[in-house]
Amino acid sequence: MCAVYKLKLKPDGEIIRKIKERYGEEIAMDYLDAQLFPKSTAPVLGPSRKIALLKWGFPVSGKSRIVFNARAESLTQKPMFKSCIQNRCIVPATGFFEWGEAGGKKQKYEIETDDEVMYFAALFKKFYDSNGEKVFCYTIITTPPNDEMAKIHSRMPAILDAEGQQKWLDPQTDPADILLPYPKSLVISRAE
């Protein structure tokens, strides 16, 4: 289950450029080196590949908790996700963190890919806060782990390659066809 991810972006990279154009230089600087947690505001890319800053986690009606991950296998069954299955976005990240076990003790691991930026499949949805203000939120989709990740945790974010990103952003694509364990190698290291 992905509960912390990072963005360490180049100042002249595409994502920072898009944030600067839409939200300004000062906000863009927040994402040059950031760790993101549920309830954080973070950049996502929608179907047109435009950038938007959304809040991580779907609020649960009448409760203080949020749902920050969605299981790929149950997207079309659970009402919270079924209602927004067409609202697809991708979340840029440069790594994510997960807790596993090493030598009988809990160990934090940092997981990356060989790509400069990886993209997670996600859904977005409109909610209203306690003041009646409109808020757009996203939830990251998880899959069963690939073989490397299975040594650490039972879930992992749905990481999409370039072709997978295009397919995921097309609402006609069946989620079951694209939301699979990451097929390539991961770079896994112990984190402090």
Provide block-wise average pLDDT over 10 residues at a time, the chain (192 residues): 89 94 94 95 93 96 88 94 95 96 89 96 94 95 96 95 95 94 94 84
Give the dihedral of Cα atoms 43, 65, 5, 91; nearest 10 deg.
-30
d(CA 10, CA 33): 9
Q: Quick one: pLDDT at residue 57? A: 97
CATH no. for residue 121? 3.90.1680.10
Full domain range(s) for residue 174: 4-190
Q: Quick one: pLDDT at residue 192? A: 78
Instruction: Work out how many domains the chain is built from and give that number.
Output: 1
Buried b (16+ CB within 10 A) or exposed e, 112-127: bbeeebbbbbbbbbee
Q: Quick one: pLDDT at residue 1? A: 60
Nearest residue to 178 (alpha-carbon basis) of 141, 150, 145? 141
